[in-house]
Chains A and B, each alone.
Chain A
Amino acid sequence: MPTITIDGKELTVEKGKTIIQAADEAGIDIPRYCYHPGLSIVGQCRICLVEVEKMPKLQVACYTPVMDGMVVHTQSERARKGRKDVLEFLLVNHPIDCPVCDQAGECFLQDYYMKFGLYDSKMLEDKNKKSKAVPIGKHIVLDSERCILCTRCIRFCDEVSKTNELGIFHRGDHAELLPYPGKTVDNPYSVNVVDICPVGALTEKDFRFRTRVWYLDETNSVCTGCSTGCNIEVHTNKKREYKNEGRRVTRLKPRFNKDVNEYWICDEGRYSFTYVDAADRLGVVMKRVKGELQESTWAEVMPEVLTALQSAKENNKRIAVLGSPKMTNEDLFALKKFASQTLGVSQMPVTVLPKEKPFSDDFLIREDKNPNTKGAGYLGYDTDHKATRKLLDDCASGGVELLIIFHHDLEAGFETELVKSALSGAKTVVFVGSNANTTSARATYILPSCTYVEKEGTFTNFAGRVQKINRAIEPLGDSLPEWTIIRNLSRKIGKALAYFEAEDVFKDLTKNTAAFSGMSYSAIGDGGLVAEENGKLKQGDAKAAAQKTETATA
């Protein structure tokens, strides 16, 4: 393995890596536009110039492979001067319309100009005019004037989404990024090109002019769009709430996780947060009075639900629970514990498969549109669709006195007739969920619960990776996390669950479930840990977990 020196730091790097990759590993920052670790290397933009001893010219760090004994200077006078000149060249036709550009604040042109540009423009000629604000897809707007032709987006469409929609047309300073004639950038991963665009050439239609990026707060979370569990950042605007206009989550951005989604996220997942503040969002406790659902309060409804539970228990009538794979591990564990200990429910189905098979591919989009089906399986839930059907059949035949349903829209997976007879077959139907649907419309009580951006917890993705979600915004109205609702119920009936935070539930969960043993919130961290059915963490993961726990306690 070659040993090189970058800025006086001696590094041993794998053979075949380039200078910029070696520098990234060592935490030395070299500027880049066209280089992206998730894409192929083209050496297009030339901003990553570095000085290499014994080489007469400045070299591009992204394209120069490391050689034994190489001595690289990234901050020398010559290298800085070279980058400054490249930057000046890239900005020759740039419109500098930062005030109207959504990228301002996270723009690499701005960053590098302030870092080593700071020159006065020598341009006396008129700048080239190109097309501005052209929609090139369902979600993307292109501004050719701002483009610096780094080709990141083109390589993304060629290599990652493999749809080949974009190309560079014309020559010289008339060169322009455009979709091929007759094509639009509408692949299922299209908005990633906005994320990787280092300048403001590609912007997101949904985010366009909504706010400025420096107002945004970031919270690490996990996408709930499907069972892949892509790592995301939830961007919220809490400082200037009047801009939100009733939409508290501003946007989602993918977060790097080499084991799950790398740098990417699908469009479906990116816009999957809309239900958080949708019109059908439940923020108030409701109960049915004379056939009509009316607004109520926790203080009024909780005793009624408890009475219903107690009377069913005392009369030895059956209580049934339909969990949801949209709930976190914590919610599911608390529910399981409460239901088995207090209500005497042993079999709990969770799955409602949609009637039509949803779109999926072999990259990130999975058929199972629930974030935690695997976790429910680990926790002892019945993840078979047939089990749910059996439960509904039992309800329809009048065998169930009280039915508690979490989140599910039953009509999405079953015939309307069956759902109707099942829901009317049970004497009391308690619906716990974040959004109203056909099931909640037929419930006796509606208990509003938080969405994933309003609570803490963990999800287990399709591969068994346990990943943490964090609270980005305050819960809407009266809504509470599901485990809190269950905890509150358990305080009055049977054995009280002594949980105060989601972490308490998780601690109890790791003690009692083999698949999760040895985990903790600090060990899961931002990257997640893989749970194994036999209760052993994968060897590498176990070591990492132990280390993480040590550092966290230290």
Chain B
Amino acid sequence: MNVHDKYKPLTWWEKTYLPAIISGVLLTFGHFRRNMVNHIKKAIGMKPKVSGAVTFQYPEVRRPFWPRLRTLHRLVRREDGSPRCVGCMMCETVCPAHCIYIVAEERPENQIEKQPRIFDIDLGKCIFCGYCVEACPEDAIRMDTGIVEISAYTRNDMMIRRDQLLSLEPKKEYYTERPDLEGKPVL
């Protein structure tokens, strides 16, 4: 079938664009009326069947993240502050976007011999698939910082370095506990 066949030529009535404009205005007005009625109902203590549309006042108010949401990476530290990462380069190997750059070095005087000297993530390339977290045998990289606003003026600034990654903390308060799933099997 020719793909163009599904586009029927417009009739003269449709060519005026009036039916489309009228139906659009009606739709908008319908939403406006329902939201107004529902919000007023809620304000005076009635429980409407359908809740009114809600707008979060971002960035003052943040929408809670689902617990499994993958946000900016961080490197986990040991108790003495050194990176838990041993530079095994599993994440670098598995990364489908090739955005992780690791150069390992000797870790002197320690039972664990290896650590990353360079651990850069090119956030301009990263697709936030989370394979690095899955692949890590040391649980050294996680994606729970709650940071989603990632921007820079240059490509170079999109690189996040080892020490920056190590300084990030998990942000539990940004995540919800998923009350809707309490007691229910997680699908």
Contact = CB atoms under 8 A, between A and B. Distances in A.
A and B associate in one complex: yes
Interface of A: 98-100, 104, 132-133, 208-212, 214-215, 240, 242-243, 245
Given A98-B88, A215-B93, 12 more contacts: A99-B138, A100-B87, A209-B104, A209-B113, A209-B114, A210-B104, A211-B89, A212-B88, A212-B89, A212-B93, A243-B102, A245-B103
Contacts of B87: 100, 209
Given A208-B106, A209-B104, A242-B103, A132 B89 contact: no
Nearest to A239: B98
Describe A's contact surface by its main secondary structure: loop
B113 A133 contact: yes
Contacts of A243: 102-103
Q: Which 10 A-B pairs give the minimum distances between C-beta atoms?
A: A99-B88, A100-B114, A209-B104, A100-B86, A212-B89, A99-B137, A99-B86, A133-B113, A100-B113, A242-B101
A95 to B, nearest CB: 10
Contacts of A245: 103
B113 A132 contact: yes
A160 B137 CA distance: 39
Describe B's contact surface by its main secondary structure: mixed
Contacts of B105: 209
Contacts of A212: 88-89, 93
Contact of A240 (B88, B92, B111, B138): B92
Interface string B137-151: 110000000000000
A240 B120 CA distance: 13
A138 B36 CA distance: 81
B93 A214 contact: yes
Contacts of A240: 92, 101
B97 interface: no
B170 to A, nearest CB: 23
B112 interface: yes
Contacts of B118: 242
Nearest to A214: B93
Interface centre among B89, B92, B102 (most CB of A within 10 A): B89
A550 B102 CA distance: 47
Interface centre among B105, B113, B114, B138 (most CB of A within 10 A): B113
Contacts of B152: none
Contacts of A99: 86, 88, 90, 114, 137-138
A208 B104 CA distance: 9
B112 A100 contact: yes
A105 to B, nearest CB: 10
A452 B112 CA distance: 38
Interface centre among B86, B87, B101, B114 (most CB of A within 10 A): B114
Interface centre among A100, A208, A214 (most CB of B within 10 A): A100
Contacts of B138: 99
Nearest to B140: A99
30 contacts: A98-B88, A99-B86, A99-B88, A99-B90, A99-B114, A100-B86, A100-B87, A100-B88, A100-B112, A100-B113, A100-B114, A104-B88, A132-B111, A132-B113, A133-B113, A208-B106, A209-B87, A209-B114, A210-B104, A211-B89, A212-B89, A212-B93, A215-B93, A240-B92, A240-B101, A242-B101, A242-B118, A243-B102, A243-B103, A245-B103
Nearest to A245: B103
Nearest to B92: A240
A119 to B, nearest CB: 19
Nearest to B90: A99
Contacts of B88: 98-100, 104, 212
A211 B92 CA distance: 11
A210 B86 CA distance: 13
Nearest to B102: A243
A210 B112 CA distance: 16
B184 to A, nearest CB: 32
A209 B87 CA distance: 8
Interface in B129-175: 137-138
Interface centre among A132, A209, A210 (most CB of B within 10 A): A209
Contacts of B106: 208-209
A210 B106 CA distance: 10
Nearest to A104: B88
Nearest to B85: A99
B110 to A, nearest CB: 9
Contacts of B86: 99-100
A100 B138 CA distance: 11
Interface string B94-127: 0000000111111000011110001000000000
B159 to A, nearest CB: 12
A214 B103 CA distance: 15
A211 B105 CA distance: 10
A275 to B, nearest CB: 23
A240 B87 CA distance: 14
Contacts of A215: 93
A243 B87 CA distance: 12
Nearest to B116: A209
Contacts of B101: 240, 242
Contacts of B103: 242-243, 245
Contacts of A214: 93
A242 B120 CA distance: 11
B72 to A, nearest CB: 22
Contacts of A104: 88
A301 to B, nearest CB: 37
B105 to A, nearest CB: 6
A209 B105 CA distance: 6
Contacts of B113: 100, 132-133, 209
